[in-house]
A and B are shown apart, each in its own frame.
Chain A
Amino acid sequence: MHHLDPQPPPCESESEPKALIQLRQVVKRYRSAGGEFTALKGISLDIYPGELVGIVGKSGAGKTTLVNMITGIDHPTSGEILVNGVAIHKMNENQLALWRGRTVGVIYQNFQLMPTLSLLNNIMLPMDFCGLWQRRISAERALELLRAVELEDHAYKLPSAISGGQQQRVAIARALANDPPILIADEPTGRLDSVTAETIFQIFIRLVEAGKTLVMVTHDESLACRASRVIHIADGQITGDSRPRGEGEP
């Protein structure tokens, strides 16, 4: 495995660690023909740089809604969300898209790669949208990221030509395209066998070691307990917040 991120980890204050992600009394209600449903009931949460946070809970507990709040993919009904000091709950869709492209890498359970683009182009696309890299450099960087997930040889294949595990590795490489400080993974191993899931998790650990903050939704307890911090959610509320490896707050 090559280095996933050549950037050094961000400098941290020894005395007062500042939360990278802050949620304050976040409420999310959905309305449907069946009536109103509260998915999140006033959640407050701080996530610190360099943490690998596992969010666990049963189906319908509100895990995905919670991470959608952090990525700005969904808007809170009430409450505040600050990510890296930015109040994203006040941003519009367009601002959120650019912000998300630069700040958050999102990894989905079903990979969500662009089906008509090669793996290389899939990774280059976020760089193209956000304009952080020159075109020539972005191609080199995409190849480097593919090399990091050991898929350089498949660079010009379509997603449909590779396995699910390989697609998820490409999705991780894409999430890293703009070198965001935060990675959000929603059930990243949900569609993978245990061996492949382990490979993916190892990549996550390395990313965190390289300084990334990673929030992972899972209902796989065995995977969650290997995170630096585990947050339990049930019925839209945090019911537990623990550090299985016994580490102190960053």
Chain B
Amino acid sequence: MIRPRWYKVLADLWGNRVRSSLVIASIAVGLFAIGIILTLHTILQRDMRSGYAAIHPANMEMSVLSLRTTTLEKVRGVAGVQNAEAARVFNLRAKARSGEWVTITLNAFPDIKNKKINRPKLEEGNWPPHKRQIAIDRYKLDELGCNVGDWLELELPDGSIRTMQVSGVIQDQSIGASGSGGGFFMAPAQGYISADSLGWLGQPEAYNQLYVAVADHAEDEEHIRLVADRVRKTIEKNGGVVLSQSVRASDNHPNSSYTLAISNVLIVLGALVVVLSGFLITNTFQALLVQQVGQIGIMKTIGGRSQQIIAIYLSLIFIFGVLAFALALPLANWASRGLLKFLAGQINMELQEFRPVPAAAFLMLGLALIVPQAAGFLPILNGVRISVQEATSGIRQTGKTSRPSRLEQRLLHLRRAPRPLLVSLRNTFRSKGRLALTLITLSLGGAIFIATFNVRTSIDDYVTRVGKYFLADINLTLERPYHVREIQKSLEALPEVKMVEGWASARAEILRSDNLVADSTTILAPPADSPLVQPILLEGRWVSAGDHNAIAISERFSDILPGIGPGDTLRLRINGQETRWTVVGRFQLVGKSGGYVAYTSFENLNRTVGYANRTNTFRVVASQPGLTLQGQKELGRKIESYLKSQGYNVKEAAAGLTLNENTTTGLDVLTTFLLIMALLTALVGSIGLMGTMSLNVMERTREIGVLRAIGASDGKVIQIVIVEGLLIGIISWALAFLLSFPISKLMSDAVFMALFDASWRSSFTPIGSVIWLAAALLLSAVASILPARNAARLTIREVLAYE
């Protein structure tokens, strides 16, 4: 037989199911959020590493001129090399279903069937593709708009068309691994073909890309660099020229900076949600205990000692915690699974079979058992400390005279306001401690919600700012270099074209002081003082006309050459030749999200590579300012057909805003994720708001009876309660608005440091604030009206006897 005190625990739990549900929901929602956060954090980090390692990724990737099969065999024999594969990688244009020609990178492998490095995962159709067949990576499949079995038109450099059948859709996690071209999100669509299709596509059957996996220490990039140096020497000894080289550890997925950013946001959010839940639970128990004061008095009257009564309520809280845990755990796992699926698809990672994270479950259980007990202990202690007389009579004797606060005195002197409004106002500010607790809970929830929108805006702002490195309307690439003046003259004849600049570019290897190649960089070379680049300078200055071998480097260089800055010498190997550059400035680009980028002047680079005023890359500015992406694409088509009519072979005429679009696509993952987190916080905040408001009203059921006894109609009672709810909603919103600024800063710093290795100014958007204001008002009203209506339905006798 259960002892009566434990029976009371169960009876309290079951007797007021609405109240118990609210308390359990308040605890569960915090646990749920923490469960999701920890599960995502753990699985993202773990699966990204293990999933990437499982494809046997290349530890080094080299662009090589004249890579012969005999050289490849020799590379396989280099000490420390486990395996090496060659490929021919080249760009063509493919006709998307929309009719638009888009760039596609084709990767041709000699022994595609037995590919051992960077193994693709077949998602649909067949692998490997046979001769004249192509497999497509899933990420840009929508852009191409083709399916397995469809025929894809490809435009060759000479303008002829070849049609290949899509044999399969694959996932290639190695996209963006070399860091060139802006990484995964900026990479064009990827196609995979067998080397025996090369001739048919007008390509030489020679390889230009080398992938090497090291035999051991595959997680140590320093060791990989040493092996890479041996590989390079072998290639050079055999007549090859290494144009660029990048190394990557086997557990370092190309998009790991995104998971790091997401994890950082999760950690900040997790910490905030723990605090939020703590307040929410304390608030809830405070309300619960206020309702139990009378019963505590009775128990003390009939012999209940403090420790016995404390044990009763701690047991009740224990059960609340266990039930909340039982509710939150499966929900958190279910939601985490969905979120992970979404994220994995977006950041090109391979999820392992979903399995619950024991650490998350243990943390949730620990929090479910500890936080409510800690949060409830003080209210319980206060409740138990009340004397029997105070508890049973409901009148607190503080022993000291309390003067009304200045605010209360002002409220007392408000004469013109309607009486019900005055009652609401006075009720709101009557219990200041309780009000403070409620406001802290609601404000924190609201502030996090608003902050996530601000962080989104900061990211968008940053993307817009980064777009100012690429201000041209059209980025034009021709099949071969032409004299800059020739193309300028030709294009400026078009009325739609305002200005044409010839840009040079090159891939170069960054040399360390020990002569090892640290990594490779893209060098962009606009004319000195080009108006098409507006850099974000971190230190030093931009490259000017008249500078000799001056170069400005992106912030990422500090990762491999710590302390490098203006005045230092940078050694770069271009086309196998070592060159020396003087760093004049360091600028901020997209940090770890992109590769290494350096800017010099067109003149400097052209002198180095010996092109003498010739290039195949041009930036075109339209006569009409502020063209949309569509407008730019239109102009691109016009320029392309015009140049073709003039006898030039155009490789690509890409809209300038495409770059922005691609960057934004990458960051969209993050902003969508932030939105989901905002909704999760809103859920925590909303349940907190509803729970708190409902318990506030339940607590005042007796007072509602008094109001009705003195003539207040049901409508008036509900009005008083709603106005009070709305007041709390408005005050909490105002505080949330203020609090959102430091939280926005905290969160955006976490994101920007992870993604870009730099902080960025916090932006503000009214969207989050407006949505939260509407939510706070609506939820306050709804949360107040339901219990108020229930209270109004009770008879006066019932309501006065309410416990």
Task: List residues of chain A with CB under 8 Å of any chain B CB.
Answer: 30-33, 68, 71, 73-75, 93-94, 97-98, 100-102, 106, 108, 110, 112-118, 121-122, 124-130, 135-136, 139, 174, 177-178
Bound complex: CA A93 to CA B3 (Å): 23
Q: Which of B42-71 contact A (CB under 8 A)?
A: none
Check A125–B299 contact: CB distance below 8 A. Answer: yes
Query: Could you list 25 A-B pairs, sorted by A, with CB under 8 Å?
Result: A32-B401, A33-B402, A33-B403, A73-B388, A75-B387, A97-B306, A101-B303, A112-B294, A114-B8, A116-B8, A116-B12, A117-B4, A117-B11, A122-B4, A125-B5, A126-B302, A128-B3, A128-B4, A128-B5, A129-B5, A129-B302, A135-B1, A136-B1, A174-B302, A178-B303
Q: Which of B287-308 contact A (CB under 8 A)?
A: 294-295, 297-308
Q: How far is the CB of B6 from chain A (nearest CB, A)?
A: 9
Task: List residues of chain B with CB under 8 Å of any chain A CB.
Answer: 1, 3-5, 7-8, 11-12, 15-16, 294-295, 297-308, 385, 387-389, 392, 397, 399-403, 801, 803
Contacts of A102 in B (CB 8 A): 303
Contacts of A124 in B (CB 8 A): 4
Check B306–A93 contact: CB distance below 8 A. Answer: yes
Closest to A106 in B: B301
From the candidates A71, A106, A112, A117, name the one contacting B8 in the complex (CB within 8 A): A117
Closest to B304 in A: A129
Contacts of A174 in B (CB 8 A): 302
From the candidates B5, B392, B400, name the one contacting A31 in the complex (CB within 8 A): B400
Check A73–B8 contact: CB distance below 8 A. Answer: no
Bound complex: CA A113 to CA B301 (Å): 11
| Interface core residue of A32, A73, A118 (most chain B CB under 10 Å) | A73
Contacts of B401 in A (CB 8 A): 31-33
Closest to A32 in B: B401
Q: A100-B300, A125-B4 are in contact. List 6 more A-B contacts (CB 8 A).
A: A73-B301, A73-B392, A112-B294, A112-B301, A114-B299, A135-B3
Bound complex: CA A139 to CA B1 (Å): 9
Bound complex: CA A110 to CA B403 (Å): 32
Q: Tell me the interface secondary structure of chain B in the complex.
A: helix
Check B4–A73 contact: CB distance below 8 A. Answer: no
| Interface core residue of A32, A94, A128 (most chain B CB under 10 Å) | A128
Closest to A33 in B: B401
Check A121–B7 contact: CB distance below 8 A. Answer: yes
Q: How far is the CB of B375 from chain A (nearest CB, A)?
A: 23
Contacts of A135 in B (CB 8 A): 1, 3
Closest to A174 in B: B302
Contacts of A178 in B (CB 8 A): 303
Bound complex: CA A75 to CA B8 (Å): 29
Supposing A73-B301, A106-B301, A135-B1 touch, asked if A93 and B8 sit within 8 A by C-beta, the answer is: no
Bound complex: CA A98 to CA B8 (Å): 19
Bound complex: CA A118 to CA B7 (Å): 9
Supposing A112-B298, A125-B8, A129-B5 touch, asked if A101 and B389 sit within 8 A by C-beta, the answer is: no
Contacts of A97 in B (CB 8 A): 300, 303-306
Supposing A97-B303, A106-B301, A129-B303 touch, asked if A74 and B4 sit within 8 A by C-beta, the answer is: no
Contacts of A94 in B (CB 8 A): 305-307
Bound complex: CA A102 to CA B388 (Å): 16
Closest to A125 in B: B4
| Interface core residue of B298, B392, B397 (most chain A CB under 10 Å) | B298
Bound complex: CA A94 to CA B401 (Å): 27
Contacts of A125 in B (CB 8 A): 4-5, 8, 299, 302, 304
Bound complex: CA A135 to CA B6 (Å): 13
Closest to A36 in B: B401
Closest to A34 in B: B401
Check A101–B15 contact: CB distance below 8 A. Answer: no
Closest to B2 in A: A121
From the candidates B11, B387, B389, B397, name the one contacting A116 in the complex (CB within 8 A): B11
Closest to A126 in B: B302
Supposing A73-B388, A114-B8 touch, asked if A31 and B300 sit within 8 A by C-beta, the answer is: no
Check A129–B298 contact: CB distance below 8 A. Answer: no
Closest to B392 in A: A112
Q: How far is the CB of A25 from chain B (nearest CB, A)?
A: 21
